Structure 1
Amino acid sequence: MKKLLLASAVALTVSGGAQASEHSGTYAFDTKGSHQFITFKISHLGYSWLYGRFNDFDGEFVYDAENPANSSVEVAVDTSSVDSNHAERDKHLRSEDFLYVSEFPEATFKSKKVVVDDDGEADIVGDLTLRGVTKEITLDVEMLGHGDDPWGGYRMGFEAETEFKLTDFGIPMDLGKASETVEMIISVEGIRQ
């Protein structure tokens, strides 16, 4: 099973074949067009999945086509933007029991290394800071595509997955054994700067 994230983060590296160096550069997340998503799911008592997302986040990635291992990514997430499609639950998720957004309004991810496999997929290893705790996580990343857009820009998109235990980041709420791990999927489209 693919490792599933947050966060954040996000993604970058190559997929399928050599990339020309003209595709290298710094790419800002497309926040204006909202072509980006950080979603999560966690088991509810082992009976169903609870899904949610973070509505506000930003970041950028640097893509080195000639040496993808030199690529990098940084993401910042507004934790108060958590949205599980239920106002009372979202209020609880923002509380001290979970994200504690009044004390820790931002989560961040900063890559440390990119490891590309023979199939052109990559693992991005980096530090996730959530609820004031920083831990190393790995994003399982796939490039979705790249090319010119209709507005004269150049775009590149990635999807990343990871998973982690709530207790790894000091989240005190015990939801039971079935709900110890949260899975995250990050999908971003960057515009070359």
Structure 2
Amino acid sequence: MLKKTLAALALGTALLTAGQAMAADYTIDKEGQHAFIDWKISHLGYSFVHGTFKDWKGTFSWDAAKPADSKIDITLQTASLFSNHAERDKHIASKDFLDVAKYPEATFKSTKVVPTGDKTADVTGDLTLHGVTKPVTFKATFNGEGKDPWGGERAGFNATTTLNLNDFGIKGPGPTAQTLDLDISLEGVKAK
């Protein structure tokens, strides 16, 4: 009788565990150039300067059945900024703005994911930039997930936010340039 009870408990536990989806861990595919952290800022109110960060890495965990359990962690090297103009990049990297010598890294670690639709969510986390850590919320869109041609599995997202530079102790270059728009595209490869 005890053997049957133990067997039934073991089977029930196995079935229950099998029915529970677990969040999968993904490494962001920066090496394959399938992920980007792009930015834009107003230039005198007439146009926008666009740029990107070239050196960064990150991971995320994702479970389509429980998107609120998702997490993301990104670290970027601030000196890797690129706007296709060497003198401008040097100025942005200087003490006038990012001060990359003193603050070589920026990080984002999610603290909360709130689904807002079938494929959308607000992703809030702690952004550390220029030595200041502040909560920031990204508007995220789930693009899809599935197998890739190389035998792996992938998932992808886009996320946007607008930063007030003064919140991070950075004075924008002019009255129309006190905010910075971030547009992030993430494609991750599932850990095996």
Give the TM-score taking structure 2 as reference length.
Answer: 0.86
Q: Is the 8 A contact 1:21 1:66 kept in 2?
A: no
CA distance in 2, matches of 1:75, 1:146: 20
CA distance in 2, matches of 1:61, 1:114: 12
For residues 65-113 of structure 1, what are the alpha-carbon distances to aligned partners after superposition, in whole Å with 9 as ceiling and x for unaligned?
3321111000001100000000011011111111111011000000000
- Could you say which residue in structure 2 is the equivalent of 1:52? 51
- Could you say which residue in structure 2 is the equivalent of 1:88? 87
Corresponding pairs, count: 173
Larger radius of gyration: 2
| Gap regions ≥5 residues in structure 2 | 1-18
1:29 to 1:118, Cα distance in 2 relative to 1, 3 A: closer
1:39 partnered with 2:38: yes
CA distance in 1, matches of 2:182, 2:123: 14
CA distance in 1, matches of 2:72, 2:163: 19
Structure scoring higher RCO (CA < 8 A, sep ≥ 6) equals: 1
Cα RMSD between the aligned structures? 1.6
Per residue, is there more helix in 1 or in 2?
A: 2
Q: Please list, as runs of the form range in 1=range in 2, the aligned pairs for 1:44-123 lying within 5 A after superposition.
A: 44-123=43-122
Identity in percent: 50
What letter is aligned with 1:39? D
1:176 partnered with 2:174: yes
Q: The residue matched to 1:98 in structure 2 has which SS?
A: coil
Moved over 6 A (4+): 20-23
| Gap regions ≥5 residues in structure 1 | 1-19
Q: Please list, as runs of the form range in 1=range in 2, the aligned pairs for 1:93-172 lying within 5 A after superposition.
A: 93-172=92-171
CA distance in 1, matches of 2:173, 2:30: 33
Please point out which of 168, 186, 189 is paired with 1:188: 186
Give the TM-score taking structure 1 as reference length.
Answer: 0.85
What letter is aligned with 2:142? M
